[in-house]
């Protein structure tokens, strides 16, 4: 079941209070027409529950399946959905008319203090600006996929 995007903060708060890990799905790149743009996020729980929509419903089931690998391995991964080809039967509807997007799936839990989503939530609650950066491509073991910097962390 996927909750609507307005429930994203509540969904996060519930699972964090339980100490349960989540997978944060963040759109990192779009090409052409897509339902959502870079920066949009979705949260996925280990039980398959999710909050937020990234594709209007077409890619979410696949993202929930991919999230299970991220829960198990703890390693971030990239999912790519490309509907630009006219011969694309499976993904050719619902993603937003001939577009493509890349989505970073990363595990957030007690070990990483649910970052960067905890920081995002804090900024929203305090009505203050914030900034964070995510590593979305790397060949450097010291900077793995999904590594992050928060403005307040230096």
Condensed to tens digits (0 to 9), the pLDDT of residues 115-146 reads 999 999 999 889 988 999 999 999 999 999 99
22-57 pLDDT, tens per residue? 999 999 999 988 888 999 999 999 999 999 989 877
User: For the packed helices 117-125 and 8-18, what is the interaxial angle rounded to 10 degrees?
Assistant: 120
33-39 LR contacts (CB < 8 Å, sep 24+): 33/96, 33/97, 33/98, 33/99, 34/95, 34/96, 34/99, 34/100, 34/101, 35/94, 35/95, 35/96, 36/101
Q: Which letter does DSSP use for residue 79 in this model?
A: E
Alpha-carbon distance of 139 to 115, in angstroms, equals: 22
More confidently predicted of 25 and 59: 25
Distance CA 86, CA 95 (A): 13
Say if residues 27 and 101 touch (Cβ distance below 8 Å).
yes
Q: What is the pLDDT of the chain when averaged over all its residues?
A: 86
């Amino acid at each position: 079941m996927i909750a609507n995007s307005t429930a994203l903060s509540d969904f996060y708060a519930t699972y964090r209070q339980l100490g349960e890990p989540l997978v944060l799905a963040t759109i990192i790149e779009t090409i052409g027409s897509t339902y959502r743009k870079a920066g949009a996020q979705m949260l996925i729980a280990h039980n398959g529950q999710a909050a937020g929509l990234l594709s209007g419903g077409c890619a979410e089931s696949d993202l929930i399946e991919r999230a299970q690998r991220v829960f198990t391995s703890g390693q971030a991964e990239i999912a790519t959905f490309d509907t630009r080809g006219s011969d694309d039967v499976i993904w050719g509807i619902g993603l937003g008319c001939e577009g493509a997007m890349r989505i970073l799936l990363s595990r957030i839990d007690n070990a990483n203090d649910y970052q960067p989503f905890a920081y995002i939530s804090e900024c929203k609650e305090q009505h203050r600006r914030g900034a964070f950066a995510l590593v979305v491509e790397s060949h450097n073991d010291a900077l793995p996929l999904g590594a992050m910097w928060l403005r307040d962390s230096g």
